Every structure is written in structure tokens, then in C-alpha cells.
Structure 1
Amino acid sequence: MSIEIKAPQFPESVADGTVATWHKQEGDRVSRDELLVDIETDKVVLEVVAPADGVLTKIHHGEGDTIESQALLAVLEAGDGAAPATETQSEPASAPVAAEDKAPVAGPAARKRLAEAGLDASKVEATGKGGRITRDDVDNALKQREQQKASAPAPVTPAAVAPAPVANGDREERRVPMTRLRKRIAERLVDAQHNAAMLTTFNEVNMKPIMDMRKHYQADFEKAHGVRLGFMSFFVRACVEALKRFPMVNASIDGDDIVYHGYYDVGVAVSGDRGLVVPVLRDADQKGLAEVETDIIEFGKKAREGKLSIEEMTGGTFTISNGGVFGSLMSTPILNPPQTAILGMHKIQERPMAVDGKVEILPMMYLAVSYDHRLIDGREAVQFLVAIKQFIEDPARLLLDI
């Protein structure tokens, strides 16, 4: 029985996609739920799996082809997935081939890492859900390989066959096409600067009160909630409370109208292998610190594995970007349209500060708020950032609602 394999139904916000990678070729046997092809859109990578056991008889769209929703990708001749009896009798060696077909499946991030490292997926121990290879599995396999190389004796190379030195004048170049996600990121960043009157205001915050609270309650918090207490949850809570006081910062522009949002969907910028993505914490005002920390950890894991869904990255009324995790001391974050403001967090740096006429060494962080001056006045932007600073430097304000 022939089965048509079609592209997934794309959401309305996604016009088309690109066939990124075929993991099976025409004539290959496949098992039910085995990964066949990756479809890359400008937001996520969608995986298409085999609907049944059988043989892939025809591929209609090759790698690099642009396809629309529900496009015919291939034809599968359904069967029991076993080799014919005559082949089994004449070629007993066919059993190992079937075993190879059931090699562990790797996600997009893990596959990229495998290709870069030149590792065979069948030689990597899979610990992911359903026997999938994760990026951590690949990294562990690389460490084992390096350890084996380090322990092995170095081969002696005769002088007569020593490799020739590379000429100093050789300069290598490599040209690769942009991914759809990278192109979409570029378009949105340029549009943000062309279509908004973007301005940035800065301030600095003393992180010592939050750091002391985190140190004091870390063990109890982790024991009670099963997740470590980080800084992001405090900033999400502080931003939500500041947005309540300055609703214009939580609004957006739609043509000649101002749209005021009565909810607080906070996007958290996450850097993955394929580029910057912004998953959204829905109804952040209704989440506790532990729930926010859990969601952020899950978003980071999905981003690394290329598993974020379109729904998880759609919408958002305000965004937080934390360049401090990469060591950035100060930057001007770019708006995430149609939002009209974004908060930039940075590296915590100890600096001498004047406190009550005395010099103290304090852990300080620069904060930046970029905003659309068409909608938000400078006074509102500055007061909004000062409110965040006050909430972080005096966390009791978050509990007392003052």
C-alpha cells in the first residue's frame, strides 16, 4: 500500500518552509515513527516521521526546495519492514543492516554537532527521551574520544615523510547559505531600526540584596521546588510589576492605533545553535519564581535541541535579553516588533561605589531599556527602569506591592 508523506500544516504566520535535511534516501527501509526529513521555517525546525514501516520509494522535494503547507514530500510503500525471505536465505548478512537502520535518532542540534565532530551516531550512547541522541551525549562522546587520544602513545613520524608546512599565504574562505531563521532574524532586526524611533536609557543596579537573598534561601528553595533560584525570575517579576505601573511600556502600535495589553506575556531571549529565539512566558504575572525558573530552563533546553514550537515563540508584550551570560558589560538591545520596549541585562561586575559617604565594593549590573519613542516618552522609560532598579535593590517591595 502506498502512503503519501506530506509536509506539516504550517501556522498562519508561516508562509512556507525549506527542506533542510533528508535522513533517508529513495529505496531505504524505514520504521514507524523514524525521522525522515527536517523542514526548516523562519521560526522552527519541523520533523516529519514515517507513518508506518516500509520502503521510501519516491522523494518529490530535495534538500533546499521551498515547499508550502501540506506539500507532497515523498511516497512510502508500506510493509512489515522485514527483508524478503529469498534475500534472507541467500544473504544471511542482512540482519546487521536492519540493526543499522534502527540507529539512535538525533535532534537537529545534536545532528549538527555530530557533523561538526565527524562522529558516527551509532557509536554515541543515547540518553534522551525515546532513545534520542542529545547534544550532551555528543559532547560526552567527544570527551571520551579526546581522553583516548591523550592516553594513546604519540606515533613517531619519520623525517622523510613529515607533512609539508602550510604556506603562510593560503587564506581559506567558506561560503554557506543563510538559514531561513537567520534571514528572518536579520529582516526583523533591520525592520525594527527602520520602522521605530528607537532610543535607549541606562541605569545601574546593586545586585547585593538579591544575591544575599538567593544565597540565604537557595537550599530551601531548591528542596521545596526542585529547581535552583536564579536571577531571571526576580527580573521577570520586577518587570511585570513595573509594567503594571507603566502600561504604555506594555502596549504596541497597530497602524494608527495604540493597543493596550491587559496581560503580561514576557519574552526571554535565548541563544540557540540556529540563532536567537524568543520563547514567551505566558501570563508571567500569575507565575511564581519557581515556575518562571522551570519554564526558562525548559526553554533553554528546547532551544539547544531545536524543539521550540511556533506557539511558544509567538506573541509577547515585553522582552528581556540577558547578554551578561556571555560577559557583556553594556549594550543597546534592539526592539522585538511589534513590542515597544525591551530590557537588557548585563554582566555583574564588582565596582567601588559611594554609599553614605563611604566607598564600598558592590556587585553592580548595568541595565538598559530600549523603547519606541513614537509611543513611550523619555520620562516614562526612565521611570520604568528606575522602578525595576528599586524592585531589585529592595526585593521587599515586590511582596509589599509598593
Structure 2
Amino acid sequence: MPTPIKMPALSPTMEEGTLAKWLVKPGDKVEAGDIMAEIETDKATMEFEAVDEGTIASIAVEEGSEGVKVGTVIAMLAEEGEDLDEAAAAAPADTTSEAESEPEATPAQSEEKDVVPAQAGNANGSAQPKATPASAGVTGKDRIIASPLARRIAEQKGVDLAGVTGSGPRGRIIKADVEGLEAGAAPAKAEASAPAASAPPKPATLGGELDAPYEATKLNNVRKVIARRLTEAKQTIPHIYLTVDVRLDALLDLRKQLNASLEADGVKLSVNDLLIKALARALQRVPACNVSFQGDELYQYSREDISVAVAAPSGLITPIIRDAGRKGLAQISTEMKELATKAKDNKLQPQEYQGGTASLSNLGMFGTKQFDAVINPPQAMILAVGAGEQRPHVIDGALGVATVMSATGSFDHRAIDGADGARFMEAFQQLCENPMGLVV
């Protein structure tokens, strides 16, 4: 019996995703554990493995399709000895070849969706034979059956769908049927839809429309989530910012000594590794900052899980060093390198980036001197560190030159008082300036 392959939930919060890439095609044999597709969630692009063995009978959702709901049938898998054509034909009646992230239709709008009404089947929901109309994409009542994506492309091109023959199930018009058509396929309807097919309006400015040349790029799922969460953070979280200057000379000397001793083990500590440890130890010293505001409750965490901002191709993501306060520097360094590599390859698993009790954002490698970071909810703080640079500095009562770094903590003032935030920044400063506390 053929097995439907459904859109998986690759994270606890995933409701839909983008089928970024198929790595198999109809006729390919797969075994359990084989990578079949790459699926873009709201955080990363993840690999989708086969659970059963068999032969791919059909692909129901094209690669590049967005807004594919969890549970949607995306392909059919035939067992050994099964006829591929029969297995492909066994796909559920509501399987669509293209998915769109659109609101559900009201009863009055149901004719605009690519789903055949209930009366098209019998009491068990199976499809019944239908009379073939003059145009495969049009029903006897002149209702056009087309996927939302096909409709959108046709509207943009000015193509009349009434004259298009559909190649999808039950004559449905799909993306491939309209992509190669030119505008004017049916002049009468094309003229009627001309206003809808016109170019989108230019972005407005205070002085009117933006007249500079631009290229519009559709946001990926990660960028959409970043935009939504950071907007929410700035609108709903009262930020308080506290900045200290940290003398780094002792920390840099310790890093040099540790790297010399760890060279034989293949470990090379970065300054960021030591800052992760310093942040975690500062939270241990000031647990009032290792909290989360939860409406009428305050969560007090007993472990320091540090989210570290990493720039990935799809957007900012924050892999987590869990229990960083109790881990050694070598372990933190090794884990951070592995997580950063996965992040840049879009291979992070949900458990590797979901959660965290506090965040670290380091832009020092870009020469940024100081900045204020936006809190990543539901966390209550994020530490932003800039570049270490040679600055005039008072050393033992005399003016000298030292390597100094500015660090700014952003705190959720609903959960963390200014005095507690100041004690945290003082603890972080002391740990960096007296770094032996990071190795004991």
C-alpha cells in the first residue's frame, strides 16, 4: 500500500514551512535515513529524512513552495513491487501541488481555492469520475480550478485562465501551466485584469513615492520571524541600558597562556569563548538577572544557557551553550565552533537554538566600538560587546594605555531592576579584568 509522505513538524512551534529543495525525484529508491528534502522552518533550513524504504512515486509539492502546512502530503512513496502510477494516483484528494500561505477561505470564497467541493466525491470522500469540459481547468459551471500560485502568476502576466488547460489532478491549473504563457492569451479578460496586473506601488516616503531604483527581495521565513520578534521586543519590553568599560589586558594574557597549553589538544580559545564564560559566571553571581518575565510570574533559572548571536546566510540565529557556567573553556570553545559551523550551513537542530536564559552579541570583530542590542524575548537581558581597542586609561592612579572594551547590557525593566543590572555589569567587568575566576 502506498505511503503518503507528509510535511513534518521539525520544531515544537512549527505550523508551516517552505519546501526549499527536493533531493529525490519520482522513480528514486530511498531507505530509512536517506535525506529526501531540505525544509526551511522559521529558524533554519533542516534536512528531512525518510522513515520508510520504497520508491518515490510522485512529488505533490514543488520545491520553493512556501507556507506548506504541517501534515500536508508532499509526496507518495510506493512499496516494493507496487506500480508507481497507481501509487501516485492514490494521493489524497486534497493534496495540492503547490502550497501558499493564505488565510482559509470563507464559504463564499471557496470557489477561489484549488480544492474540489465535497459534492465532487462520494460519502467516503473518494473522487468520482467527472465529465471532461472543453477546458480542463474549467468546471461545468465555468468555475476555474487553479492553485493560488497559478492564479497569482496569471494575474501578474495578464493571462486568462479560462483558456488554459490544467495538467494537475482533476484538470486543476498549476504553476507549470501558466509560467510559459505570454500576456494577452485572452485579451478580453487580460484587459479587465490590467489594473491588478500592473506593477506594485513604489514604497512611499515623506516626500512622496521612492523614485530611486530598487530591487524587491521576498523575505525568507527566518527574516520574517526576526522582524516580528524584534518589533514585539521593542514595542512591549521596557529596555534599560547600562554600559561599562572593561580593561582586557589580563584576559588577553590568560587567553594566550591557555592557548599555548591547549595547542596539543587542538583547542584554540577565542575572546568570545571567554566572554561567554564571563557572562555565565556573572549570572551565577547575580542570579536576579537570570530571569524571564512571564506575565504575572517571574521565572528564576537555575542554569546559565547562553544564546550567542551568529550571522547565518538566512539571517541572525542564536545557538545556545547550555549550562555554560559549569563548563570549562575548552568545552565551550569546541561546542561554539560546532554550533557556529552548523548555523552558517543552516543545519542547526531545534534543540540547539531554542531556549536560552540570556544572550551575547559581539560585533567587535567588525570594529564596532559600542552598541545597544535588542532583547530576545522571552529572555530578560542581552549583553552587547564591542571591539577591544587601545585607549587612554587610568592604571593604578596614573594615566596609561590599555586595551579597553565597552560592554552594554540591555535589561527588561519589568523583570530586572536597575540596581541588579548594575551589579551584573560590575560582576562581568570584574571577571574580565581578573580572569582567573573563569578557570576555577
> TM-score, normalization: structure 2?
0.65
How big is the shift at 1:231? 1.6
> Does 2:9 correspond to 1:9?
yes
- Tell me if structure 2 keeps the 8 A contact 1:222–1:229: no
Q: For residues 3-402 of structure 1, what are the structure 2 equivalents within 5 Å?
A: 3-24=3-24, 27=26, 29=28, 32=31, 35-49=35-49, 51-52=52-53, 54-60=55-61, 63-77=64-78, 173-223=214-264, 225-398=265-438
Q: 1:287 to 1:329 in 2, by over 3 A?
A: same
Q: Quick one: structure 1 residues 15 and 31, their matched pair in 2 at CA, closer, same or farther if it must change by over 3 Å?
A: closer
Aligned length, in residue pairs: 309
Q: 1:227 Cα deviation (Å)?
A: 1.1
Moved more, 391-400 or 204-213: 391-400
Q: Distance in 1 between matches of 2:437 and 2:277?
A: 11
1:376 aligns to what SS in structure 2? coil
Q: Which amino acid aligns with 1:312?
A: E
Q: Which amino acid aligns with 1:329?
A: K
Change (3 A) 1:271 1:58: closer
Deviates more, 1:44-53 or 1:12-21: 44-53
Alpha-carbon contact 1:321-1:343 (below 8 Å) kept: yes
TM-score (norm 1): 0.71
1:34, CA displacement in angstroms? Answer: 5.5
Q: Secondary structure at the match of 2:223?
A: helix
Query: Could you tell me how far apart the structure 2 residues matched to 1:174 and 1:34 are?
Result: 38
> Is the alpha carbon distance of 1:242 and 1:55 closer, same or farther for their aligned partners in structure 2, counting shifts above 3 Å?
closer
Secondary structure of the equivalent of 2:347?
Answer: coil
- For 1:233, the aligned partner's letter is D
The change in CA–CA distance for 1:399 and 1:45 in structure 2 (over 3 A counts) is: closer
Q: Which structure 1 segments of 5+ residues have no match?
A: 81-169
Contact 2:237 2:412 in 1 (8 A): yes
Sort the Cα spacing of 1:211 and 1:321 in 2 relative to 1 into closer, same or farther, 3 A: same
Three-state SS of the structure 2 residue aligned to 1:334 is coil
Q: Secondary structure at the match of 1:5?
A: strand
SS at match of 1:308: coil
Stretches (4+) displaced over 6 A: none
SS at match of 1:297: helix
Q: What letter matches 1:20 in structure 2? A: A
Residue aligning to 1:140: none
Query: Residue 66 of structure 1 aligns to which amino acid in structure 2?
Result: G
Would the aligned equivalents of 1:61 and 1:74 in 2 still touch at CA under 8 Å? no
| Structure with higher helix content | 1
Whether the 8 Å contact between 1:55 and 1:79 is mirrored in structure 2 is no
| C-alpha distance in 2 between matches for 1:60 and 1:16 | 13
**CA spacing shift, 1:177–1:205, aligned 2, 3 Å:** same
- What's the C-alpha RMSD, in Å, of the aligned pairs? 2.4
Q: Which fold has the larger relative contact order, with Cα–Cα distance below 8 Å and residues 6 or more apart in sequence? A: 1
Alpha-carbon deviations, 1:77-131, whole Å to 9, x = none?
4569xxxxxxxxxxxxxxxxxxxxxxxxxxxxxxxxxxxxxxxxxxxxxxxxxxx
| Deviation per residue, 1:213-267 (Å, 9 max, x gap) | 12223221222x4210222232222222221222221011111111111111111
